[in-house]
Structure 1
Amino acid sequence: MSQPKVNEEVTPRIRRTHLSLFVKDPFASAPWYEDVLGMQVTARGARWVFLSFGKKHHDIALIQVEDPENATRGTINLQHYGLEIEGDMDELRRLYGMLLRKKIPVVKTTDHKVGYGLYFEDPDGHRFEFFLETVHDDEEGKRLLGQYHAPSDAFDIEPL
């Protein structure tokens, strides 16, 4: 593989991502991530907890804010973190039922034309999405998102 020449434009090639969230109490929030998202705690520090979906050392880090008693969410913030699920519509329906049984705030259910989304919030108000992809060809997905202007249409789903 050739190396870029000096001053040649370089773009990152991302292998994977992880997410770090400020929370009021990472030790109180971590059990929610274990229970609702099926994550495992992999490390703890004085003011943080690392969690994994099981393959990597961490996928989400929960970090205590400087002043937890006075912490508030601002209008400029993370909009949501999408988690693509394995399975089919019945799996999305099962996850919807699980969220409702656990009294997790469900924000909305949407049809994105390339898949279906189920949006919910963690104890600190961070929004997550369980996403069921239905269009698996990336070029077709890009075409559909462009054609429909990246839709987020209301979608009714019955929980299982």
Structure 2
Amino acid sequence: MKIEQIHHVAYRCKDAKETVEWYRDMLNMDFVLAIAEDHVPSTHEPDPYMHIFMDAGNGNVLAFFELPTKPEMGRDENTPVWVQHIAFKVKDRDELIAFKEHLEAKGVEVLGVTDHSIFHSIYFFDPNGHRVELACPDPKEDEMLKRLDSVKWDMLEEWSKTKKAPKHAEWMHAKELSDV
């Protein structure tokens, strides 16, 4: 048995129409599907909803539910805002910069470009308060990923025992790639 790919990832939204228009206008995603019902198919509970689906490229689908009868959306207060986010890949740094300029021109506050060594990112929030990341690969991504692959299990084991950041990949932030 093997998972083929993510079918869709679903989040809650405040306003389905605003969300569709935002993802269309800000990230050039196509609106591909809407489903609306008065009962939840899996639980049969009476609860009207609008379920929208956006094309995130390469068969990836980002979906949202608007739930007008539920209390106002919140977030997990025990999780820092930077942790929970949606990340999308863009072709290269030029595309990343173009998106940054586009978003800022539309009034979206953008953080970054942040250099993560293996990739570069910008961060911003959608109208629902969801943090969104756009990331592009670093030109040396392949060689860095090989290096990270060779230590992933050791890092995980050390973290599991100590709950302290292992030092196996310190080079990522020090930009020391001479051993690659």
Q: Taking structure 2 as the reference length, what is the TM-score of the superposition?
A: 0.65
| Structure 1 contact 119–128 (Cα < 8 Å) conserved | yes
* Corresponding residue number in structure 2 for 1:39: 29
Residue 143 of structure 1 and its aligned partner are, at CA, apart by: 5.9
| Aligned position for 1:156 | none
1:86 to 88, 91, 110: 91
Task: Report the CA distance shift for 1:14/1:126 in structure 2 as closer, same or farther (over 3 A).
Answer: same
Task: Tell me the secondary structure at the aligned position of residue 147 of structure 1.
Answer: coil
Give 1:125 shift.
Answer: 0.9
Quick one: which amino acid aligns to residue 64 of structure 2? L
The structure-2 alpha-carbon separation of the partners of 1:144 and 1:100, relative to structure 1 and needing over 3 Å to count, comes to farther
Query: Deviation of residue 105 (structure 1)?
Result: 2.5
- Tell me which amino acid in the other structure corresponds to 2:87: G
Contact 2:118 2:172 in 1 (8 A): no
Match of 1:147 in 2: 169
Whether contact under 8 Å (1:115, 1:131) holds in the other structure is: yes
Unpaired stretches in structure 2, ≥5 consecutive residues: 37-49, 153-167, 174-180
Q: Is 1:48 the counterpart of 2:48 in the alignment? A: no
* Partner-residue secondary structure (3-state), 2:107: coil
The superposition leaves residues 70-125 of structure 1 with CA deviations (integer Å, 9 ceiling, x where unpaired) of 322332476111111113x2222111101100111324431111111101110011
Structure 1 runs not aligned, ≥5 long: 1-11, 152-160
Give the CA RMSD over aligned residues. Answer: 2.8
Other-structure match for 2:40: none
**Partner-residue secondary structure (3-state), 2:24:** helix
Higher radius of gyration, 1 or 2: 2
State the Cα distance separating 1:149 from its structure 2 match. 8.2
Distance in 1 separating the partners of 2:84 and 2:23: 18
> Where does residue 22 of structure 1 map in the other structure?
12
Tell me the alpha carbon deviations over residues 125-160 of structure 1, each in whole angstroms, 9 at most, x when there is no partner: 111111111112432344699412876xxxxxxxxx
Contact 1:24 1:69 in 2 (8 A): no
Work out the CA distance in 2 between the residues paired with 1:149 and 1:123.
36
Q: Shift in Å at residue 41 of structure 1?
A: 1.1
Aligned residue in 2 for 1:98: 102
Query: Contact 1:114–1:144 at 8 Å: present in 2 too?
Result: no
